[in-house]
Amino acid sequence: MPTDVLLLTPPFTQLNTPYPATAYLKGFFNTKGISSRQADLGIEVTLRMFCAKGLRRIFEMAAHKQESFSDNSRRIFSLQDLYIHTINDVVALLQGKKPTLAQLIAKRGYLPEASRFAQLDDLHFSFGSMGFQDQAKHVATMYLEDLGDFIKENIDEHFGFSRYAERLGRSANSFDELYAALQQPLSFIDELTIEQLDIHLQAAQPKLVTLSVPFPGNLFSSLRIAQYIRQHYPAMKVAMGGGFANTELRSLTDKRVFEFYHFITLDDGERPLEQLLKYIDGDCTKDELKRCFLIDNDELLYTNTATCSDYKMSEVGTPDYSDLLLSEYINAIEIANPMHSLWSDGRWNKLTMAHGCYWGKCTFCDVSLDYIRLYEPVAAAQIVDRMEQLIAQTGFNGFHFVDEAAPPSLMKALSIEIIRRKLNVAWWTNVRFEKSFTQDLCYLLKAAGCIAVSGGLEVASDRLLQLINKGITVEQVARVNKHFTEAGIMVHAYLMYGFPTQTAQETIDSLEMVRQLFEAGVLQSGFWHQFAMTAHSPVGLAPEKFGVKAVIPQVPSFADNDVVHEDPTGAEHELFSDGLKKSLHNYMHGVGFDVPLYKWFEHKVPKTAVAPDYIRQILVEPDFTSKSPNSKLIFLGPLPGIEYFVKSKKGSSWSMASLKFESRSKTISISVADTQGKWLHDLLQKIHIDQPRQWTLQEVKADYAAAGLEHFELFWDNKPMLGMNKAGLLVV
């Protein structure tokens, strides 16, 4: 039976889990009775390549190039029988299907090794003596990377495991180069893609094929797919959407693009695709299309009707991962860092707590676009409903919330809902390192299954953070990261260099701040990227306000996002790239803290002006942040036992109460005056997380006074009550 929509993710995005766009749209179509199928061609093509049959084909194709092989390719080619013999087992291990091979692979000597293994970390140091599964994944990942290098050098220069022909798609102001490449014969990877595509087209017979293009690295493949459909299935319509279109194609003027796609839609896809299906069926006119480019009477037209609004986040349904090959995804470990591995290791159900960003002020960010500008949270209960539905459908209880920045208040409500429903989940998300993340809130998040957070430290300089309008300081980041780390939540920082007017001194001082955060143990992972000015950010819209000058190129007819600029007062930012990344690689492995900063760089750099104990001094200072009277008190339980006893000292005696708390890892005991002990024991039952009503700190204080007790602050903020958050008593 023909399908209304076939939702496709072109090669390549990621290996370990599906990119979520098609699952989000399929979930929406379910609510509308629109039939749909979906496929991730990236994982399907990857599995076609990395199997015994695929490698035989690859080595046969490369055989005629032997005379021009590099030393590395020559070695791999000479070991081809070993690669062909082991590839199926390696992929099965990375899919979690053959875990018993881990020790064999981890011990080395079983898999062939080429140049990638020259960079291999000391496995015992990185994983310990028992982490054979992760060791084996790391070795297997290097093995695949070696094969990837061979393919890129001898079969297809555009290949990458998480991207394809990215250079053609990145900053393609003109469509000329892409258009010329699309006139060339199909590459090996193109052929595999088309073979897989045809299987899905025959099965679905869709009216509309939609291609999700989140990154430049899957743009070219999407064009190849659209080209094939237009040539061989002329009755089908083809539409493109996704992050690349949303940021790069808003000023599109080149009509040649529509030799491939029939339509390009922008921003949230639910309403535009619903209207597009109506248009294809003849149930609405072109003027009723939503945020859609199309060709009409040989003219490029953009139409955005005001007669229908976008759907609320609460109305779009639960993502639906059916049709996708969930058991076939590959879990790789590129570097031996537990936080960093979350992006490539593990099958995560993707969800969103809130549309847009609640902060929405960072000057480097596309805050003028709707996907950032329009902030709309989803109710915590509905989020957890969706989590339960996805667990039932996929069998996986890991979640990656892909928010721009998850709101702390919603994370709190979500955590309470998860704990109340006794849902066993692991999840991580992106945050702003703001002061709302108190120690108690971090303990609550951890109790609800939060295992990690990532957030933008950007440039670790207070002057530049203010210029960026990040709303944070280095001191605040250090304290918040300490709270996360002490709760057992890993922290990854996005780091930026090259922001307008950033000096060499500020770059080195920023690196020193990062070094100290890692050395203090409050930062576990990070990634440096060089600042890129985008057309839709405050700095791109008004570069002169930030001390830089935009270089006006030829007016773009295709992609229009990156803004070339001159920074007359800043450093030569490119010079710092290798040193920043090399030092960070060492810090993530817990080494190199005593290496002078200048040794990471090939050129002369200034000495840091940051005190060597700057971060440590921040972290040892007591945190006197006062709790709001409206803060909620929650006890996570179980309820403690209570015993009364008499304490004597120097001829005096008085009645005491001992409360014994059983946490997951230890027993915590406190002793207080008997009347305070009885009141506290009664209070814990009232504020237990299973109770429907939450008590505020102000209400608890009033209850304390109503019990005839005095000096609440002296009791609450002093020993033995300090540290009760570890027993599950939280003020959030």
120: pLDDT strictly greater than 80: no
Architecture of domain 348-620: Alpha-Beta Horseshoe (3.80)
- Quick: pLDDT tens for 528-550: 999 988 888 999 889 888 888 88
Domain ranges for the chain, please list them.
5-42+165-313, 48-161, 348-620, 632-731
Is there a contact between 140 and 94 (Cβ–Cβ < 8 Å)?
yes
Q: 400 pairs with which residues across the strands?
A: 350, 428
pLDDT averaged over the chain? 93
φ/ψ (deg, to 5) at 264: -130, 125
Calculate helix-pair angle for 577-588, 504-519, nearest 10 degrees. 10
Instruction: Return all residues near 359 (Cβ < 8 A) that are at least 6 apart.
Output: 405, 432, 471
What would be the CATH architecture of the domain defined by 5-42+165-313? 3-Layer(aba) Sandwich (3.40)
Helix (H) or strand (E) holding 527: strand 525-530
| Paired residues of 729 in beta bridges | 635
Q: Please report where in the chains the tokens 């005593």 appear, as a residue.
A: 594
Arithmetic mean of pLDDT, 701-714: 94
pLDDT for residue 457 is more than 70: yes
Three-state SS sequence of 557-620: CCCCCECCEECCCCCCHHHHHHHHHHHHHHHHCCCCCCCCHHHHCCCCCCCCCCCCCHHHHHHH
Contact 306, 379 (CB under 8 A): no
DSSP string, 204-239: H--SEEEEE--SGGGHHHHHHHHHHHHHH-TTSEEE
Answer whether residue 130 shows pLDDT above 60.
Answer: no
Does pLDDT of 333 surpass 90?
no
Give the pLDDT mean for 591-595. 96
Q: Percentages helix, strand, coil for the chain, rounded to the nearest 5?
A: 45, 15, 40
- Average pLDDT (423-442) is 96
pLDDT value for 6: 98
Q: 231-279: per-residue pLDDT in tens? A: 999 999 999 999 999 999 999 999 999 999 999 999 999 999 999 999 9
Which amino acid appears at position 496 of this protein? M
